[in-house]
Chain A
Amino acid sequence: MNAFRAWIEERLGLGAVTGFLERKEVPRHGHSFLYYTGSSILLFLGIQIATGVLLAFYYRPTLAEANASVARIATEIPLGWLVRSVHSWSATLMIAMVLVHLLGISFTKAYRKPREATWLTGILLLGVSLAFGFTGYLLPWDELSLAATKVGTDLPRAMPIVGTWLTRLMRAGDDVTGDTLSRFFIAHVSVLPLAILALLGAHLFLVQRHGMSVPLAEEKKGVKGPVLPFWPNFAYREAGVWLILLGTLLTMAVVFAPGLGSQADLMAPAPEGIKPEWYFLFMFQTLKLFPAKVLGLDGELVAVLVMAVGMGLFALLPFIDTRPAERKGRIITALVWAGLAYALGMSIWSLL
């Protein structure tokens, strides 16, 4: 065994990595649970990749075969329904975990100097995760997914100058067609995975470069707060969290397996009760509430602009809140709480 280890070490030089993990320390305080959210995202991403590869063996991204191939996965392929359900639920849990991770960082002000770039890569990772969800929603090619994609890809059209171009770029034409399905499939299995891996690499590098952030309240307690070695103390705890998440994911996937509607018909009118995925519900409801005209301007344009400005401000938080690390930043905390309450309220309203 030692000879095998030496053989590996001589060729790969993994000693540097294991040495780094042994030296790495994790701050220990009342908010330590937030550190588990980052690794949980990695767990769900790994599951997404593994189940996505399995689904891609049988999925056919053509107008005639897409819906039938998903039906075949769900009914004929051994455990196909389970793989599809795990893929769907792990996507949901991954996005939920990304949101919890970002909210935790914004509440603890961990985005402040010198972690601005870490925050920006995190925001981009959220964007890519949402794009995964959006492109994946169309792939079953059923009536609801077609109608929701039509609405979703029509949104940017309201934006001035680039709006029409963006809609055409997403749809691969003026309307949602088989070309849109191909484009979404390629984005889902090729472009977005490459983007997420590149961004994740940059994000992890920056996290290691600057170390794990410590909440202000904990930092004030002493110059040298208690720490926990990453290996093995923190890694064992993390493994426990992963196990519970895996069990939860599998249970949800078995009990609440996603359905499949009838094949989409490009000429059919939109069915009733179109709703996007839960993470887009607040935008959907906001658009519904805006009047057709606001101060003489197109209501949809105003709604899109207001939401774009809000999201832009959230993305640029480290450059807006540039105060020293020791300042509490109560206004930012209140604004983030308000934004969260708005998004939750609108989402619940949309579901009612």
Chain B
Amino acid sequence: MNGRRRMASVLTAAVLLSILLAGAFEARAQEAAKTQAGTTSVAAPKGESAPPPRPPKERMAVAVLLAWVWVSIAVLIGILRLRVREADRVFRLGLRETGHKGFGGSGE
């Protein structure tokens, strides 16, 4: 039960974080567009490295993709955690068919 709760809280946190990131990213993109519109005549000082303009169609798509990536990562980590626990249990019970040799290789 504890594990499920923990996983649910991790997932919720990941979803919230991804939404926050997506929102922050979109706000930043909008802010940049506003600034660009307001100061088109001001040239960047020589040598300064300005970020290249991004195709507007891609902005939102990438923000959503990023949110989905983090949600998928949270789900996959949850699954991996279950697999790790199972694999550790099998190993602890000695059901695995390999010798327990201790630390290191030939150099030890």
Is the A/B pair a real complex?
yes
A residues neighboring B (CB under 8 Å): 22-23, 25, 27, 71, 74-76, 78-79, 81-82, 113-115, 142-144, 147, 208-214, 219, 223-225, 227-229, 232-233, 236-237, 239-240, 243-244, 246-247, 250-251, 254-255, 257-262, 271-273
Q: Which residues of A contact B88 (CB under 8 A)?
A: 233
Check B47 against A144 for contact (C-beta < 8 Å). Answer: yes
Other-chain residue from B25, B52, B81, B102 in contact with A74 (beta carbon distance below 8 A): B52
Proximity string of chain B (81-92) to chain A, C-beta cutoff 8 Å, 1 when within and 0 when not: 101100110010
CB-CB < 8 A to B40: which residues of A?
A: none
With known contacts A224-B103, A259-B49, A23–B98 Cβ distance under 8 A: yes
B5 at the interface (CB under 8 A from A): no
Does the CB pair B80–A239 fall under 8 Å?
yes
CB distance from B57 to the nearest CB of A (A): 9
Selected contact of A240 from candidates B54, B80, B91, B99, CB within 8 Å: B80
| Contact indicator A261/B105 (Cβ below 8 Å) | no
Which of B21, B96, B101, B104 interacts with A214 by CB under 8 Å? B104
Check A211/B46 contact, CB under 8 A, given A246-B73, A254-B25. Answer: no
**Residues of B with C-beta under 8 A to A76:** 55
Contact A259 B107 (CB under 8 A): no
The 4 A-B pairs with the shortest beta carbon distances in the complex, nearest first, are: A211-B105, A271-B47, A224-B102, A210-B107
A260→B103 contact, CB < 8 A: no
Contacts of B48 on A, CB cut-off 8 Å?
Answer: 261
0/1 string, B48-91, CB within 8 A of A gives 1: 11111111001000110010011001001100110110011001
Contacts of A113 in B (CB 8 A): 107
Q: Is the CB of B49 within 8 A of A261?
A: yes
| Count of chain B residues with a beta carbon within 8 Å of a chain A beta carbon | 42
Given contacts A71-B52, A114-B107, A243-B77, contact A254 B58 (CB under 8 A): no
Is the Cβ of A257 less than 8 Å from the Cβ of B54?
yes
Partner of A251, one of B47, B66, B76: B66
Verify B66–A75 contact, CB threshold 8 A.
no
CB-CB under 8 A from B105, the residues of chain A are 208-212
B84 and A273 contacting across the interface, CB-CB below 8 Å: no
Interchain CB contact under 8 A, B52 and A259: yes
Inter-subunit contact A212/B104 (CB<8 Å):
yes
Out of B49, B55, B84, B91, name the residue touching A237 (CB < 8 Å).
B84
CA distance A81 to B52 in the complex (A): 8
The docked-state distance in angstroms from the alpha carbon of A233 to that of B82 is 11
Q: Are A213 and B104 in contact (CB under 8 A)?
A: yes
Q: Do A79 and B58 have beta carbons less than 8 Å apart? A: yes
B100 part of interface (Cβ distance < 8 Å): yes
Q: Which residues from chain B contact A81 at a C-beta distance below 8 Å?
A: 52, 54, 58
Q: Is B35 an interface residue (CB 8 A)?
A: no
Q: In whole angstroms, how far apart are the Cα atoms of A163 and B63 in the complex? A: 49
CB-based contact A247/B46 at 8 Å: no
Bound-state CA distance A345–B39 (Å) is 38
| Given A74-B52, A81-B52, A81-B58, 11 extra CB contacts under 8 A | A76-B55, A214-B103, A219-B103, A223-B102, A224-B100, A233-B88, A243-B73, A250-B69, A251-B21, A251-B70, A254-B62
**Residue A229 contacts which of B53, B98, B103, B108 (CB distance < 8 angstroms)?**
B98
Q: Residue B41 at the A interface, CB < 8 A? A: no
Contact of A225 among B25, B47, B103 (CB under 8 A): B103
A239 — which chain B residues lie within 8 A by C-beta? 80
Q: How far is the CB of A332 from chain B (nearest CB, A)?
A: 19
Q: Establish whether residues B107 and A244, one from each chain, have CB atoms under 8 Å apart when the complex forms.
A: no
Question: B87 touching A211 by the CB < 8 A rule?
Answer: no
Closest to B70 in A: A247
Does B2 have its Cβ within 8 Å of any Cβ on chain A?
A: no
**B106, A209: Cβ atoms under 8 Å?**
yes
- Contacts known (A22-B98, A144-B49, A259-B51); A243 close to B76, Cβ less than 8 A: yes
